[in-house]
Amino acid sequence: MRKILAIAGSDCSGGAGIQADLKTITSHKMYGMSVITALTAQNTTGVFGVMESTPDFAAKQLDAVFSDIYPDAVKIGMVSSKTLIEVIAEKLAEYKAKNIVLDPVMISTSGSKLLNDDAIETLKYKLMPLADIITPNIPEAECLSGIKIKNKQDMEEAALKISKNFPGHILIKGGHLEDSSDDLLFHDGMFSWYNHEKIKNTNTHGTGCTLSSAIACSLADGFTVAESIFNAKNYLTGALNYNLNLGKGRGPLNHCWNI
């Protein structure tokens, strides 16, 4: 049994965050664990409140997990604040966590801030160095690179810029592109494109959370990063195609389409 840890925020409406992570992990027939960094009051239409875990309590959760059921891979999502990031980075280093996928969650699809402005530098310099792969969407890649992204060429430029401070795999997700959903992987000086047509479906709440958890599952199974992205995109495409059409806004995915 592969064991996957998700470090992320809770989405009470079940489409994104920890809930999406655990559903994804279970659909991969793996054992999911969760360190909750924040509670959010949100649904398919927006985020109405955030209550952060204290850094001490996040540390206690990390100790409880790592000292008992050592994870084969770790997915990190919403980390909310500077002090939470510091504690997470410290604990991941202390326990020598492996196969770390960092989704640098900053703003929800509905436009709410999920990372404090003063935490961005800490994310860049304390958490990113521990990750094997980071998976920014276009607005997050703009923030990490300082480059405005309007097309695929800008995505390549942004990846190059981010790579100056991060030697791991950089996956810039293209879900926010207008005419395709092509994702760009940059590693070791090489660009690889995962091309995908845009599925005509507005129910995309939690796509990023789902993709990063699915990548963590394949890494835990021993696939390379490039193979893990390919597998994760297949899983995500199924979850988008078999969408549930729930809620009044951007609805959730169907995580159980494959079981």
Ligand X SMILES: Nc1ncnc2c1ncn2[C@@H]1O[C@H](COP(=O)(O)OP(=O)(O)O)[C@@H](O)[C@H]1O
Supply the residues annotated as catalytic: 173, 204, 206-209
Q: Is 175 an interacting residue with respect to ligand X (CB under 6 A)?
A: yes
- Burial track 7-32 (b if 16+ CB lie within 10 A, e otherwise): bbbbbebbbbbbbbbbbbbbbbebbb
Stretch that binds ligand MP5, among 24-32, 57-65, 185-193, 199-207 (CB under 6 A): 199-207
CB 158 within 8 A of CB 147: yes
Shortest distance, position 9 Cβ to ligand MP5, whole Å: 3
Q: Is 201 an interacting residue with respect to ligand X (CB under 6 A)?
A: yes
Contacts of the segment 226-232: beta carbons below 8 A, 24+ positions apart? 226/185, 226/192, 229/171, 229/183, 229/185, 229/194, 230/194
Judged by beta carbon distances under 5 to 8 A according to partner kind, the member of ligand MP5, ligand X, none in contact with residue 108 is ligand MP5
Query: Which one, 19 or 61, has the nearer CB to ligand X?
Result: 19
3-state DSSP helix/strand/coil percent for the chain, to nearest 5? 40, 20, 40
Residue choice 32, 208, 251, 252 for contact with ligand X (CB under 6 A): 208
Residue choice 198, 221, 226, 244 for contact with ligand X (CB under 6 A): 198
Q: Token pair for residue 7?
A: 């470090």
Contacts with ligand MP5, residue ranges (CB under 6 A): 8-9, 11, 16-17, 40, 77-78, 105, 108-109, 114, 205-209
